[in-house]
Amino acid sequence: MSRVLLACGGTGGHLAPGIALAQRLTDEGHECLLVVSSKAVDARMTANYPRLTFVAGRGRGFGPGWFNRLLFFPALLASIGSSLRLIRGFRPTVLVCFGGFMSVGPALACWIRGIPIVVHESNRRPGKAVRLIARFARSLHLPAGVRLEGIPAGRQHDSGFPVRREISPSSKEVARKALGFPSTGKLLLVAGGSQGSRALTKWVEAQLADFPIRGVHVLCLTGPGGRGGEVRSGGSVIRFLPFCNQMGLAYSACDLAMVRAGAGTLAELAACRTPAILVPYPFASDDHQTANAQHFAQEGAALLVTEADLATASDIVYDRLFDNAALAAMRDALALADAANRWEELFQETIQLARDPRTPAA
């Protein structure tokens, strides 16, 4: 049996595609081990996949600030050491990295041991970890049209975002019933990604008096340690949840989503045909969420609102929520985006290297 090591974790945007690829590899009979972080968000997500095997790795992000950067280097040495021990025990034939600080140590350890490395980057502005690992990786799988300077063109490939199989569309009626929302009225999903968003939660809290007047229900995902509970007023249901492990149903139940612009979120919106207003996290590394959102908005699949304009965005939200023709046009654009989200080459290359790590590079 061939063995595949996957370095992911730290955020849902890194962990989710690793899980999606591991699901397919496991179905093909390959043994997978996923290196994740010790963050609570990883523990919550991995608990839903008992068929997969996870191990908490060591690692630390690079910055912000000089103090954190100084701490990065001893943490990196510790991560390389623990990764070398992990490799000796698991004996993988290939490593697939999904970016973020959890990828660097395993990548360097596999490079030392001569194990081929495949890198997947989902954002339109590749992060520091990917730019580093790219120098010695066998191949890079990047969003269409995105390329890294200084890396041979033959090692860079267009790729979509691996979406977990449970993120699939359901009928609105079925999804609302499963989540406990009324079948009538508009439903707005507000979600700040795996970490939550205080800014988006505050926007919902500021609209609590307005939702019943407009006949709007809300599902607000607040993130780890965030607000929970439910407010019912005038027939409207406004529910706050720190975490939701039924995102396919959440996307399908709503008429419109207000969300961050991580690449994983965009792929899941497309998979479930969920129109959205994108509010990029302004402090994301290299401002990659803004680049993601701009590309998605240009395709007609979403609207873009900056966090600085969030306080005055209510009219935009309500206008789009009740404009059925505009929502239908967005769903058409989302269907095209989903059709273009293909990651078969990443899967096939991983399979080839898992079976024979001596497979020549493309």
Fold equal for 3-164+342-355 and 172-322:
yes
Q: What is the mean pLDDT of residues 33-58?
A: 91
Q: What per-residue confidence (pLDDT) applies to 10?
A: 81
The pLDDT confidence band at residue 210, using thresholds 50, 70 and 90, is very high
The pLDDT confidence band at residue 75, using thresholds 50, 70 and 90, is confident
**pLDDT tens-digit series, residues 125-143:** 998 889 999 999 999 999 9
The pLDDT confidence band at residue 284, using thresholds 50, 70 and 90, is confident
Please state which of the ranges 21-35, 56-70, 228-242 shows the lowest mean pLDDT.
56-70
Assigned architecture for domain 172-322 = 3-Layer(aba) Sandwich (3.40)
Q: Does position 23 have pLDDT exceeding 90, yes or no? A: yes
Listed residue (290, 302, 317) closest to 206, CA to CA: 317
Q: What per-residue confidence (pLDDT) applies to 164?
A: 95
Q: What is the mean pLDDT of residues 38-55?
A: 91
**pLDDT tens-digit series, residues 250-261:** 999 999 999 999
Q: What per-residue confidence (pLDDT) applies to 101?
A: 82
Q: Domain limits of the chain?
A: 3-164+342-355, 172-322
pTM summary value:
0.92
Please state which of the ranges 34-43, 61-70, 170-179 shows the lowest mean pLDDT.
61-70
Listed residue (14, 12, 85, 74) closest to 44, CA to CA: 12
Q: Does position 66 have pLDDT exceeding 70, yes or no? A: no
CATH of domain 3-164+342-355: 3.40.50.2000
Q: What is the mean pLDDT of residues 153-160?
A: 95
Q: What per-residue confidence (pLDDT) applies to 69?
A: 63
The pLDDT confidence band at residue 39, using thresholds 50, 70 and 90, is confident
Residue 297 host element (H or E): helix 288-298
> Which DSSP string do the residues of 158-226 spell out, in sequence order?
E------TT-----HHHHHHHHT--SSSEEEEEE--TT--HHHHHHHHHTTTHHHHHTEEEEEE--TT-
**pLDDT tens-digit series, residues 164-184:** 999 999 999 999 999 999 999
